[in-house]
Every structure is written in structure tokens, then in C-alpha cells.
Amino acid sequence: MIAKIKKNDTVKVIAGNDAGKTGKVIGINREKGTATVDGINIQKKHRKARSAQETSRIEDMLGPVDLSNLMVVCPTCGKAVRVGITVVKDENGKDKKVRVCKKCNAVIDKTAEAKAAKKAVKKTAKAAEEAAEPAKKAPRKTAAKKAEGAATEVKKAPRKTAAKKADAE
């Protein structure tokens, strides 16, 4: 089954203390039916110092928001909309389910072409970066340096355990 709200979607809160605010979905918990939205449902967490060097503090945390209190903001029309699901043929001729805005019938999901273009841009950027910097090799140790390093090493005497100490006495 395809999800109505996904990670990285822009959503609008329709109920609760943060009603009317919009934010980007950071994570979703399908089992509990909640989502974590950037800048929405900020909670205070009191942290006690666990050692003498630490200080106690109050941290701001993002709390979960129930999925029923969120609506997806359509990237085309810019409004909070209900989401529908339709079947579309992709470039390979296979059927694919996509999310669609109920007001303007625009596809909300990123298309496969957009994902492929993004990957191509990353590959070209990486290739250009590698061409700009020649590969750096680690300097090799010569026989003289190896011998010099061996001469400076100090060997430690083995530790005596309680059993060995008892045997020695």
C-alpha cells in the first residue's frame, strides 16, 4: 500500500496547538501513526548531569504529531490538499502508483526522470572532482626509516597478575 504522507513532504498542521503551521516531515512511525515535523510540536526535555563535569540543561526536542492532524501541501498549487492515488505507466511500460493532488490533479511524487537526473548530476560532479585532484599516495617507509623506528621502540615488561605474584612469593 502506498503512503499518503512520506518523508521530506511539506505538510500543514490542521489541528492542535500548532494548527496552521507548515513544516517538512523528518521521519514517520507507521506503527504508531505519527510523524516528526521540523519546527512543529517542540517539547522541553530536562537532562540531569550524569557526572561532575556535565551540567544539567533543558533541551528542545521535536515531538511526534498524529498523521490525522497533517495535510500534504501540494507543490503545484501551494495549498493543503487531500491526496489521491492513481496508476500511471512509467517509461518501461509498467504500472506505477503515484500520489496526486485532489484539487489540481498534479502528481506529488518525484518522477523517475527527476531521480535519474539527480543521480547523473552527482556522478558528473564526482568525476570532475576526481579529475581536478590527482590521486595522492602515502609516502613509503624506506629500510633506514624502518630500522630507525625499531630502534626507538621501548619494550615493556609483562605485567604481573595476582596469581603470578603469589607464585613468585
The model's pLDDT over 25-82, given as tens digits with 9 standing for 90+, comes to 999 999 999 999 999 999 999 999 999 999 999 999 999 999 999 999 999 988 999 9
Q: What is the pLDDT of residue 161?
A: 66
Domain boundaries, the chain: 10-45+62-129
The secondary structure of residue 139, as a DSSP letter, is: P
42 three-state secondary structure: strand
Higher pLDDT, 124 or 66: 66
Residue 155's DSSP bridge partners are none
Query: Is the separation of the CB atoms in 101 and 81 below 8 Å?
Result: yes
Indicate the pLDDT class of residue 91, thresholds 50, 70 and 90: confident
Query: Could you say which of 2.30.30, 3.30.70, 1.20.120, 3.90.25 is the CATH number of the domain covering 10-45+62-129?
Result: 2.30.30
For residue 71, give the nearest of 83, 63, 86 by alpha carbon. Answer: 83
> Is residue 165 over pLDDT 80?
no
**More reliable by pLDDT, 148 or 4:** 4
